[in-house]
């Protein structure tokens, strides 16, 4: 059995996720494909996550890929959270998400859910609609029952049809369109993917697992289950179904899995300083979390045990602090709170990262070392 230290595992993950150095010869969609999607609840964080893994890409390049070239698509991905996915991967992702175990619907019958999904797909086939406009279109195609206020929302009630929204997204009937001012819009990905249809569920899930193990492995079924937000027992069965393609290794003394034959890892320990945005793939999806967030980093950079709520300072592959950026016009004030003493070399690398953040966000950055006084999601 191949034995890997956790330092080797970190170095392997950093290299494969484009954090040891920019991913060579890849486009922006290739970055999203490599990571299994880029979390995009905060779009500027997704722009940073992609830009930091390339040599020269800026937020404008990401927006062109998303809304102009359509090589990226904004939709639901792992954990059914908003991600930027490679458009070419949408058949795989919709096939996989449609095959995941989900809770039964409470407000819609199975027949009603199918009617809503068909209505959404038809309404968005040649258009981009806001939520209110989509509600009108769904009600017109199904009946008044679809528009009844039935789901508790933040400050009121959502219409009944919204319960089928996640299912419609998983099936590929809808994705996000460009914002109309401050209003979110939705559209149908078939507009730029003629003949689009989800991949067979079993085939899609097998490919998702292969890609996950390449980028984030070694990993266990429990790690995969947390990444995809599925029950651990279900993830274990998926691993078992691909047992012939997997190989067990020792990760810092504990069993974990990689793709068969894919046991290589750098011999040199990880080196380098990185600034990672909200919900970056590396701190969120790499496990064991206690190893990635050692000692005081767990208390400072996790929120209730959840990763991603704070942008993090990464030093030699481990979380070593938090940071925050505040924009005023073109000026971007970057405050970095380090939990470790940084050497002169590391301070130089930190300054380079700050400059790269400025390039990506198309602003003039200024670095301050000190306490980050804001809370999570600030």
Question: Percent of the chain, pLDDT > 70?
Answer: 100
- The residue with tokens 């393609």 is 245
Q: Is residue 285 part of a domain?
A: yes
- C-beta separation of 270 from 7 below 8 A: yes
Q: 364 and 283, same structural domain?
A: yes
pLDDT tens-digit readout, 113-164: 999 999 999 999 999 999 999 999 999 999 999 999 998 887 789 999 999 9
Q: 90 and 15, same structural domain?
A: yes
Q: 186 and 215, same structural domain?
A: no
What pLDDT, on a 0 to 100 scale, did the predictor assign at position 276? 98
Q: 81 and 214, same structural domain?
A: yes
pLDDT tens-digit readout, 201-225: 999 999 999 999 999 999 999 999 9
What pLDDT, on a 0 to 100 scale, did the predictor assign at position 173? 97
What pLDDT, on a 0 to 100 scale, did the predictor assign at position 355? 98
> What is the average pLDDT value for the chain, to the nearest integer?
96
What pLDDT, on a 0 to 100 scale, did the predictor assign at position 23? 81
Q: 109 and 182, same structural domain?
A: yes
What pLDDT, on a 0 to 100 scale, did the predictor assign at position 281? 97
Average pLDDT over residues 52-80: 96
Q: Is residue 374 part of a domain?
A: no
What pLDDT, on a 0 to 100 scale, did the predictor assign at position 53? 96
3-class DSSP state of 164: helix
pLDDT band at 22 (very low <50, low <70, confident <90, very high): confident
**Rounded Cα distance, 142 and 136, in Å:** 10
Average pLDDT over residues 301-324: 96
- The residue with tokens 């079924």 is 221
Q: Is residue 377 part of a domain?
A: no
Q: 58 and 12, same structural domain?
A: yes
What pLDDT, on a 0 to 100 scale, did the predictor assign at position 377? 80
- C-beta separation of 361 from 346 below 8 A: no
| Angle ∠(89,94,99) on CA atoms, nearest 5 | 130
pLDDT tens-digit readout, 168-185: 999 999 999 999 999 999
Q: 213 and 185, same structural domain?
A: no
Q: Is residue 151 part of a domain?
A: yes
Among the candidates 163, 190, 217, a domain finishes at 190
Q: 209 and 65, same structural domain?
A: yes
**Rounded Cα distance, 178 and 82, in Å:** 14
Q: 164 and 84, same structural domain?
A: no
Q: Is residue 48 part of a domain?
A: yes
Q: What tokens were used for 313?
A: 């300072």
Q: 210 and 74, same structural domain?
A: yes
- The residue with tokens 């933040």 is 154
What pLDDT, on a 0 to 100 scale, did the predictor assign at position 155? 79
pLDDT tens-digit readout, 343-371: 999 999 999 999 999 999 999 999 999 99
- C-beta separation of 217 from 224 below 8 A: no
Q: 305 and 234, same structural domain?
A: no
Closest-CA residue to 378 (of 303, 314, 289, 320): 303
Q: 118 and 32, same structural domain?
A: no
- The tally of domains found in the chain comes to 3
pLDDT tens-digit readout, 32-52: 999 999 999 999 999 999 999
Query: Domain of 172: which CATH number?
Result: 1.10.10
- C-beta separation of 92 from 204 below 8 A: yes
pLDDT tens-digit readout, 70-83: 999 999 999 999 99
Q: Is residue 204 part of a domain?
A: yes
Give residue 122's domain range.
102-190
What pLDDT, on a 0 to 100 scale, did the predictor assign at position 189? 96
Average pLDDT over residues 60-66: 97
Q: Is residue 260 part of a domain?
A: no
Q: Is residue 56 part of a domain?
A: yes
- C-beta separation of 209 from 225 below 8 A: no
């Amino acid at each position: 059995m191949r034995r890997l230290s956790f330092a080797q595992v970190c170095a392997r993950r950093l290299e494969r996720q484009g954090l040891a150095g920019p991913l060579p010869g890849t486009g922006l969609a290739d970055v999203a494909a490599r990571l299994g999607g880029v979390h995009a609840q905060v779009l500027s964080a997704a722009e940073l996550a992609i830009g930091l893994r390339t040599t020269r890409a800026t937020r404008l390049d990401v927006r062109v890929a998303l809304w102009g070239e359509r090589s990226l698509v904004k939709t639901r991905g792992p954990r059914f959270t908003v991600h930027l996915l490679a458009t070419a991967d949408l058949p795989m992702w919709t096939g996989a998400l449609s095959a995941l175990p989900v809770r039964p619907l409470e407000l819609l019958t199975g027949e009603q859910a199918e009617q809503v999904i068909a209505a959404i797909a038809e309404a968005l086939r040649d258009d981009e609609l806001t939520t209110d406009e989509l509600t009108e279109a769904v009600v017109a195609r199904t009946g008044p029952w679809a528009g009844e206020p039935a789901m508790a929302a933040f400050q009121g009630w959502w219409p009944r049809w919204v319960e089928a929204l996640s299912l419609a997204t998983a099936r590929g009937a809808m994705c996000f369109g460009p914002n109309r001012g401050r209003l979110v819009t939705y559209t149908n990905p078939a507009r730029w993917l003629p003949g689009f249809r989800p991949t067979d569920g079993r085939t899609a899930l097998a490919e998702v697992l292969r890609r996950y193990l390449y980028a984030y492995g070694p990993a266990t079924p429990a790690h995969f289950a947390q990444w995809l937000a599925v029950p651990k027992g279900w993830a274990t069965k998926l691993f078992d179904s691909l047992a012939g393609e997997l190989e067990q290794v020792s990760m810092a003394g504990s069993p974990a899995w990689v793709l068969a034959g894919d046991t290589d890892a750098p011999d040199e320990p990880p080196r380098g300083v990185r600034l990672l945005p909200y919900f970056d793939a590396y701190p969120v999806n790499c496990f064991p979390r206690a190893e990635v967030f050692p000692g005081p980093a767990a208390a400072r950079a996790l929120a209730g045990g959840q990763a991603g709520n704070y942008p993090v300072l990464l030093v030699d592959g481990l979380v070593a602090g938090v940071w925050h950026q505040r924009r005023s016009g073109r000026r971007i004030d970057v405050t970095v709170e380090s939990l470790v003493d940084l050497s002169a070399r590391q301070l130089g690398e930190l300054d380079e990262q700050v400059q790269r953040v400025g390039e990506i966000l198309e602003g003039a950055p200024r670095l301050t070392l000190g306490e980050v006084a804001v809370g999570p999601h600030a």
